[in-house]
Amino acid sequence: MWLFLGYKTMEKNAWNFIISKKISDLSLIHKIDGHRNMKILKTNGNKKCNFPECIFSSSPKHVRITRYAKCASLACSETSGNCPFSYKIEYCTSLEIAKYYSQGNHIVRDSEYRTRNNITPTKFKISDSLKTYVDSLIGVGVAPKRIYHQLLNDENFIDKPSLKWIQTYVNHQRCANGDNEFKKLLEVVKSLAKTDNQEYCTAFTIGIDFDDEGIPLIGDGSDMDPFVVGLTSLGLLQKLEMFKSKELKVMLHIDATYKITKESYPLLMLGVSDSARTFHFLGCFIISQTTEPIIKYCISAILDAISFTNDNLLSWNPDYVMSDADPAIRRACVSLFNEKTVYLSCYFHIMKNVRENIKSLNSEQYIMIMKDLNFLHNSRSEEMFLERYEDVNAKWRNQSLNAFAEYFATNIMCTSFSKWQVYHTPSGYAKTNNPVETFNGEFKKTYTQRKRFLVTDAISLIASMIKTESTIRQDVPVACKPGPVRRFTQVGVNLYNNKKFSVTQTGCSFKVMKIETDDEDEDLKNSDEYVDRNSQESTMENCQCDSFFKFGHCVHQVMIAIFLGRHSSVRRLVNRTVRRPTGRNRRGNRGLSRISEQVSAHLIRGPRGRPRSRPEGVRGSRGSRGRPRRMGPALSYE
């Protein structure tokens, strides 16, 4: 009975995988390189093999033989008669694969056994082909468990190591190849240096010095020795010559994007935009810190590259500089450009900061402040802005919003980032940093696919991206006048086709008027941002609305073009997808909600704005996608 219990206890212990190897001769199955001798005790055969290799094999029948063995080494037998260390061997007769497992501990430890026999046993000998394959996976950053998974399901390799062996090998390779990785990085940077016969679309490095031996000085990323590597091409820099030849104003966009490298080094993007808000990429820098000296060095490097590649741009200065509220970028630009350059703040970041400050207010105050902010943003002169601000500030203080009024005056008005109104730039130019932000999103979606890379691989990837962008953007012209806005075109077509507005012509001018109807159209209710007047007089070339003053395009011009038959609209299927509300709209109908005010007025809400009870006459409610939501015992489809 006690022997039976002991046998059961031994069988419940887990078997530890040792190695998988190819064996053609069964007489050698009891020998493993680097392990002690064993003695076969028991054999079980003629069972169906369940190896992963057999599942994907085309052979019709696989038989597995299982053998149990114990330690038969001389060192353990001299110390004690019975060594508790045991083996289990599973052998597939079709594929001739043997898998070894172990259980228990030797009486004589491995360190003592090696000392007695003067040997250092190797548990696994890796082949050259397997080593090359594993090293390639380590080079691209594959985790050890993922490497083990791929080896386990790969029929090309028979002798397969254990997970513990792979983990040890990966850690050893990463520690031992640290210097090799930096040497590889230096080789990649050196190979991208500018040559005398530089191709038009091929990327080359900027902002890098070389020592006497030709080794690039790129730094190690520390505070004392920062890492800076810039990349651009002749094709990208030649775009500025088009602005110069056509005497167009240039807006420079600067922005840092993150989550590119595994070392968490940001990528500083630089580019310019034209009057149609088309972004023209100039170059980028992988930097270790976003401090003022580093950003200033990067901008100086790209200015030197512009002057070196084109004699007409020796003292190039942008007319406008657009960035977020980063003081390091602002101070770096002020120290490099002349006094004629206007430094703008992204209006999106202004709205974002205001939303964060007023998120605790009720829905009426929240909507009022956001409309007032848009009202200030559309000011057409500094005098108009100051007059509007006095009225808006007085209204805020009369409605007990003194805290927000003080915040707005201190953090928005009286700072170096106060130029976010539309009158600071000509009509059509960008009012936000959206051109470069959109390019950053496309870069991550198309090229990096939302993955992080080692700095060496990231530089190679950016070099290939620059070659692609240089080739694509050769035929992209620089706009001389504002271009159409896609959302204005969509809204104008919908409003005119649904007969919400009418157009009448008087000579060369047109009058766009809203048609009074009893029913309130949902699209018209949400188009207040684009249609700022119920009646508007305009021409094909000019309009007096705020949207035209800001973008050089408006919905009124779209309706006039449809009226004259000059707009070729393409019929498309209506997209019925309802997006789930996010942010403030998701909690308590605060913000710009589409739920009717009549139903919302009957809801009793808690401290977080969530409804506590149902309105009268409503048996059930619907979710964000129009599906019925269960409320109590009934399920309503009304």
- Break the chain into its structural domains and give their ranges: 13-117, 128-176, 183-346+432-475, 347-419, 486-563
Percent share of the chain, pLDDT over 70: 80
Average pLDDT estimate for 499-517: 82
Average pLDDT estimate for 421-436: 90
pLDDT tens digit sequence for 600-609? 444 455 554 5
The region of weakest confidence among 48-52, 225-229, 388-392 is 48-52
Average pLDDT estimate for 210-237: 88
Instruction: Please tell me the pTM assigned to this model.
Output: 0.67
C-alpha to C-alpha distance for 632 and 620, rounded to whole angstroms: 8
In this predicted structure, what is the pLDDT of residue 598?
43
**CB distance 367 to 590 below 8 Å:** no
**3-state secondary structure (DSSP) of residue 604:** coil
Cβ neighbourhood burial of 614 (10 Å; 0-12, 13-18, 19+): middle
Written as six digits, the tokens of 474 are 């050769």
pLDDT tens digit sequence for 256-306? 999 999 888 999 999 999 988 899 999 999 999 999 999 999 999 999 888
Q: Distance from CA of residue 307 to its chain's centroid?
A: 33
- Cβ–Cβ contacts within 10 Å for residue 206, how many? 24
Cβ neighbourhood burial of 93 (10 Å; 0-12, 13-18, 19+): middle
* Neighbouring residues of 479: CB distance < 8 A, sequence distance ≥ 6: 274, 275, 276, 278, 428
DSSP 500: S
DSSP 624: T
Confidence of residue 392 (pLDDT cuts 50, 70, 90): very high
Amino acid identity, position 481: K
The distance between the two most distant Cα atoms of the chain, rounded to a whole number of Å, is 116
Average pLDDT estimate for 119-136: 69
C-alpha to C-alpha distance for 620 and 343, rounded to whole angstroms: 54
pLDDT at 252 over 60: yes
- Cβ–Cβ contacts within 10 Å for residue 615, how many? 14
**CB distance 320 to 252 below 8 Å:** yes
pLDDT tens digit sequence for 399-410? 888 999 999 998
C-alpha to C-alpha distance for 327 and 281, rounded to whole angstroms: 23
User: For 13-145, where are the E strands, in sequence order?
Assistant: 16-22, 38-48, 63-71, 86-92, 97-103
φ, ψ (nearest 5 deg) of residue 210: -125, 145
pLDDT tens digit sequence for 303-344? 988 888 877 777 788 899 998 888 899 899 988 888 888 999
Between residues 561 and 154, which one has the greater pLDDT? 561
User: How large is the angle between the packed helices 144-152 and 163-176, nearest 10 degrees?
Assistant: 130
pLDDT tens digit sequence for 3-36? 333 333 344 467 888 878 778 777 777 777 667 7
Average pLDDT estimate for 117-142: 70
In this predicted structure, what is the pLDDT of residue 60?
65
Written as six digits, the tokens of 414 are 């009286």
Confidence of residue 125 (pLDDT cuts 50, 70, 90): low
Written as six digits, the tokens of 344 are 């703008």
